[in-house]
Amino acid sequence: MRKTILMAVLAFVALTARAQDVVCHRGYWDTEGSAQNSIRSLVKADSIGAWGTEFDVWMTADGVLVVNHDATFQGITIETANWRQLKNLHLDNGEPLPTLEKMLNRAKTLKIKLVLELKPHTSKDLEREAVAKIVAMVKKMGLEERMEYITFSFSGMKELKEKAPAGTPVYYLNGDLSPFQLSEYDVAGIDYSIRVMREHPQWIDEAHSLGMKVNVWTVNSDRDMEWCIHYGVDYITTNAPEKLQQMLGDNP
């Protein structure tokens, strides 16, 4: 009898507790043979059973979508370069600099959620074009259900909301707007730095009360992980996904 009650309580806790999920920041790169924003980091993130993997996207002057964090790669500014100037360059782990097309093609064979960061381009027109190309490619690949979009760009956020299929989660990264201020744009939630969130811990409950989710980056120390777990952050973006999984008691 006592065991039955215990089981019922545990089931209730499992049903009511807010899930807390691990997002690999720029893929799972801090591991053998991997590199930031590489195909390998995508595959590694999937292999450990992380909920999602984040990666950064730029568009070249000739309209090729490239996965890279910085505006430049090996001294070449992606936004003003043509793809032929970049296509023979390699990441630290020896992989060619990946295009989004190549990344998504590999993702099709995996299960992990894809958190695509649209980088802020120098003009709204370029961002608009990048968003149109991203959304069309994702549709063509049949990956719409697995996509989430994030961006520091306020105009990019609105563009993603408009062009991605209804219900696609779009998060704002810039940390300058409260959940209440963002709520009129119908975004899925806030995706703010741990520094911003420690300054505004009340934004977590505020977001939840508005039906929004909270993602926090880049959460690497034990102390920051514990803070996010304690405050009920929904998605925790980290460079140390296996440590976080252990802390959350995840058994992938």
**Residue keyed to tokens 């070449």:** 76
Residue span 26-65 as binding mask against Mg ion, x where in contact by CB under 5 A, dash where not: ------------------------------x---------
Binding residues for Mg ion, how many (CB under 5 A)? 2
DSSP for residue 29: -
DSSP for residue 78: G
Minimum CB–partner distance for residue 5 and Mg ion (Å)? 46
Of the pair 23, 81, the CB lying nearest Mg ion is at: 23
Residue spans of beta strands (DSSP E) within the chain? 21-24, 52-59, 65-67, 72-73, 76-77, 113-118, 147-151, 170-172, 189-193, 213-217, 235-238
Of the pair 12, 24, the CB lying nearest Mg ion is at: 24
Of the pair 71, 183, the CB lying nearest Mg ion is at: 71
Minimum CB–partner distance for residue 56 and Mg ion (Å)? 4
Q: Cα separation of 134 and 160, whole Å?
A: 9
Minimum CB–partner distance for residue 150 and Mg ion (Å)? 7
Q: Cα separation of 197 and 235, whole Å?
A: 13
CA 80, 84, 88, 93 dihedral sign is: positive
Tally the residues of the chain. Answer: 252
Of the pair 58, 249, the CB lying nearest Mg ion is at: 58
Residue span 85-124 as binding mask against Mg ion, x where in contact by CB under 5 A, dash where not: --------------------------------x-------
Buried b (16+ CB within 10 A) or exposed e, 31-67: beebbbbbbbbbbbbbebebbbbbbbbbbbeeebbbb
Q: Is residue 196 a contact partner of residue 166, using CB atoms and an 8 Å limit?
A: no
Closest-approach residue to Mg ion (CB): 117
Of the pair 26, 146, the CB lying nearest Mg ion is at: 26
Of the pair 183, 196, the CB lying nearest Mg ion is at: 196
Residue span 163-202 as binding mask against Mg ion, x where in contact by CB under 5 A, dash where not: ----------------------------------------
Residues that bind Mg ion (CB under 5 A): 56, 117
